[in-house]
Amino acid sequence: MKIRYFIEYKRPDPNKWEMIPIGVWAHGVDDRSAFDVGYVSGFDAEEWDAQCVVNRIVEQGIRELPVDFLEQHREGISIYLGSRTKVFETDKHGSVTELVEDMLDQIRKGKINNA
């Protein structure tokens, strides 16, 4: 399955520009209804914000997300709080959930292999 995704980073110390990876958003290319987000533990506020996006999608009855959905949300974070990578595309996972779990595992291990 072709999947597009980005990794979200956060500045843990507002006095430094160092950023750490904390989560991933994934969206299906062939199946545009496939969407998932996930965060490593300890980043509840960021995960809650992402789940609000998911809730709005469900409440509005949206069945397929636009092709540029991730690009629309990529810039939705202040550089003073964190950042989101460019959108990557891969076909190495069978579902968006598999990709999210794999990327979160890589974040936890401290080594990320994109696409």
Q: What is the C-alpha separation between 16 and 106, in angstroms, rounded?
A: 24
Residue 16 lies in a domain: yes
- pLDDT tens-place string over residues 97-106: 999 999 999 9
Residue 100 lies in a domain: yes
Residue 65: which domain range?
Answer: 3-109
Listed as ranges, residues in the chain with pLDDT below 70 are 115
Q: Report the pLDDT value the prediction gives residue 14, as an integer from 0 to 100.
A: 85
Q: How is residue 69 annotated by DSSP?
A: H
Residue 114 lies in a domain: no
20-47 exposure pattern, b = at least 16 Cβ within 10 A, e = fewer: ebbbbbbbbeeebebbbbbbbeebeebb
HSE-up (13 A, CA, CB side) for residue 16: 7
Residue 98 lies in a domain: yes
Q: Report the pLDDT value the prediction gives residue 115, as an integer from 0 to 100.
A: 53
Q: Report the pLDDT value the prediction gives residue 77, as an integer from 0 to 100.
A: 86
As for how many domains the chain has, the answer is 1
pTM: 0.91
Q: Report the pLDDT value the prediction gives residue 60, as an integer from 0 to 100.
A: 94
